[in-house]
Amino acid sequence: MRADNSPHLVAAARERAAATRERAIAALRRMDAAGQPVSFDAVAREAGVSRSWLYTQPDLRAEINRLRERHRPASSAPQVPDQQRASEASLLRRLEVATARNRQLEAEVRELREQLARALGQQRAAAVTSSAGTSTTGHGSARTPTTY
């Protein structure tokens, strides 16, 4: 007569079931912590379990649904219909126009800086020249302060 091994088989099955649950729970926690989208398929792949098994676990199913809703983007604005969306060509044209305008403004700023530098240089040269013309050689000559 053969020995009854059923207690060992039952114990092994319980251990496998516990390990499977632990993998699924760990996968859910990792995905939630990483901000990854949570779905039955994603959890099944991450944990190495079947989707059908996940659906049979009420607590895991509820947690997946809760996390799925939490990570779902809340879009209160209605989607723009395809016909009203800007085409790729239109967006490229707008980008080209903006780039050209930026170049134009950069050139204008460069020219204005050069004009300002010349004007400040002329103002300083005039102040130095007028200061040199009013000073005398001798004791106690008064200098007028120059302001810029």
Percentage, residues of the chain above pLDDT 90: 53
Name the burial class of residue 16, with classes exposed (0-12), middle (13-18) and buried (19+) by CB atoms within 10 angstroms of its CB: exposed
Give the CB-side neighbour count of residue 7, counting CA atoms within 13 A.
2
First to last CA, the chain: 114
* Model pLDDT, residue 5: 82
Look at residue 87 and tell me whether its pLDDT is greater than 90: no
Q: What is the value of pTM for the model shown?
A: 0.46
**5-21 pLDDT, tens digit each:** 888 888 999 999 999 99
**Residue holding tokens 């400040």?**
120
DSSP string computed for 31-95: HHHHT----HHHHHHHHT--HHHHHT-HHHHHHHHHHHHHHS----SPPPPGGGSPPHHHHHHHH
Question: pLDDT band at 3, cuts 50/70/90?
Answer: confident
CA 3 remoteness from chain centre: 64
**48-86 pLDDT, tens digit each:** 999 999 999 999 999 999 988 876 665 655 666 666 778
* Model pLDDT, residue 118: 96
**105-138 pLDDT, tens digit each:** 999 999 999 999 999 999 999 999 988 877 655 5
The number of residues in the chain equals: 148
Averaged pLDDT of the chain: 85
